[in-house]
Amino acid sequence: MGVTFVNVVIKKSPHARREETVECLVDSGAHYSAIPRMILTKLGIRPTGKRSFILADGSKIERDTAAAHFEFQGRTAPSTVICGEEGDATLLGVVTLEELGLMLDPLKRELRQLPALLI
């Protein structure tokens, strides 16, 4: 398996004029997306909470979280985002992917439409 990067547009809200295109690593092992705090601040996106996270090495960190609006290939959705600090990776996590109706195809290393199930 390899890594997959995509460019997503981040905004404060669907109708916000200010936006930023950000290259993200698609991480199917990460719950939330992580965007550098500097970009979020520039867009007027402020933290609304704080959460603890466990890293792959087992260590724990705390990060602020916020709400941001994501756009990718004509799809748009609000999603929780981690306010990334210096040294943090810029990630597109599973929650945001699902909000956008997408999933990672690990063999083709591309995003595909997520089947919508109503159970």
DSSP code, position 107? T
Give the CA diameter of the chain.
41
What is the mean pLDDT of the segment spanning 20-44?
Answer: 95
What is the mean pLDDT of the segment spanning 24-42?
Answer: 94
What are the extents of the domains in the chain? Answer: 5-113
Check pLDDT > 80 for residue 119.
no
Give the 3-state secondary structure of residue 38. Answer: helix
Paired residues of 62 in beta bridges: 52
What is the mean pLDDT of the segment spanning 28-43?
Answer: 95
Contact 33, 100 (CB under 8 A): no
Check pLDDT > 90 for residue 70.
yes
Q: How far apart are CA 96 and CA 76, in angstroms?
A: 10
Considering the entire predicted model, what is its pTM?
0.89
**CATH number, domain 5-113, options 2.40.70.10, 3.90.79.10, 2.60.40.60, 3.40.50.1820:** 2.40.70.10
Check pLDDT > 80 for residue 27.
yes
Q: How far apart are CA 108 and CA 112, in angstroms?
A: 10
Q: What's residue 116's pLDDT?
A: 72
Q: How many CB atoms lie within 10 A of CB 58?
A: 6
Pairing of strands 75-84, 33-36: parallel
Check pLDDT > 70 for residue 39.
yes
Q: How confident is the prediction for the chain on average, in pLDDT?
A: 92
Q: How many CB atoms lie within 10 A of CB 72?
A: 19
Q: Which residue has the higher pLDDT, 55 or 32?
A: 32
Q: What's residue 2's pLDDT?
A: 66
